[in-house]
Amino acid sequence: MELMVLLNALVTRLLFVLHSLIGVWRVTAVKKEPKYWLLALLNLLLCLETGLTLKFKQGRGYKWFSPAIFLYLICTVPSLWLLEIHHGTQYCGNEPGAVQVNVSNQDFNQSRDSSHGSEGTDHHIIQTAKVFVNRLSTICETVWTLALHQTFLLLLVIGRWLLPIGVEITRDQLSQLLLMFVGTAADILEFASETLDIADVRKNYALINAILAVWTWSMLQFPLDLAVQHIGCKPTASARWIPSLLLCRYSAELWNIGVSLFIQDGPFFIVRSILMGHFRIFNQMLVFFTAKNILVVTLQLYRLAVITLDFRATILQKSRKGEVSCCPCEPYEASTHATADQDTEMKEFVAFPPKMESQAPSEDQ
């Protein structure tokens, strides 16, 4: 096993566990009940996955799916749910927050002076750590929750980057996936923060749960790598079914469209429409992002129509040439009964679409 692969696999999962434990600690501090430390037991699943991955995959990832990212979601999402539900019981003002920070700074300076005057370096470090933890505890709840949301999404992207990739995915595909995840994370963070910060939403417990459910549903796209990988198919008899041919040729594009329509922009649009239509909640940002979701959904449907028409045109052209038995998603593989001339013609068809040739002038003219 390569040293860098082992190091990346262990460091990334360690970051996941630490962030999850911080979320559990914050829930315990807010609820003031030690029983919430039981949420930390969810990290045992991530530890088990680490051992199995190191043993059977030598630390590398799987095709189309990342178990480490999925288990990280399981470990962290419950804590964020509890913090968001408890969010309404504490509101932060500017003046109280400033007083808390000033008091913490005074405590820090006093502890530093006392440690210098009487005790050694070890005691100074311990006192500094205690003051630092107390200072973190004085930060208001809304700031903590937003910070956990932000670091959660950042770690999903950074962790997917650091995790060793499998043999089925290339570096180019990984770079495309990470760029997509950055935009996706920004949209998800905006949806959660913009909708849950509305005062009328905070008064409705059922509405908070509905928004968090949609937020959780949108997070499920992070463990999947289908957005940059094509399924592919072989020219078998079962592959002649038209929907199967369409799926194997445009698998990555269809996955992106499906994610936008059913996991991200579609559900976000429905939630925002309900807020404006049923609950009569209006503000400038809510209207803007609703219009943005409508635009994205419309463009994705337009993209789906373009793909379908292009695929239909390809099928019709191949059927006129008697090449229906060949899978159009892998046009460079000729069937066993195809001749060399047919194979060359198919390659030229895919690389350069046929054009209308102008009629050459005759020698008499």
Using H for helix, E for strand and C for coil, what is the string for the chain?
CCHHHHHHHHHHHHHHHHHHHHHHHHHHHHHCCHHHHHHHHHHHHHHHHHHHHHHHCCCCCCCCECHHHHHHHHHHHHHHHHHHHHHHHCCCCHHHHHHHHHHHHHHHHHHHHHHHHHCCHHHHHHHHHHHHHHHHHHCCHHHHHHHHHHHHHHHHHHHHHHCCCCCCCCHHHHHHHHHHHHHHHHHHHHHHHHHHCCHHHHCCHHHHHHHHHHHHHHHCCCCECCCCCCCCCCCCCHHHCHHHHHHHHCHHHHHHHHHHHHCCHHHHHHHHHHHHHCCCCCCHHHHHHHHHHHHHHHHHHHHHHHHHHHHHHHHHHHHHCCCCCCCCCCCCCCCCCCCHHHHHHHHHHHHCCCCCCCCCCCCCC
What pLDDT shows up at residue 346? Answer: 44
The reply to whether the predicted model has a pTM over 0.85 is: no
Residue-wise pLDDT tens digits, 269-284 = 999 999 999 999 989 9
Q: Report domain extents, the chain.
A: 1-89+139-225, 229-320
What pLDDT shows up at residue 229? Answer: 67
| Residues of the chain above pLDDT 70, percent | 71
What pLDDT shows up at residue 241? Answer: 65
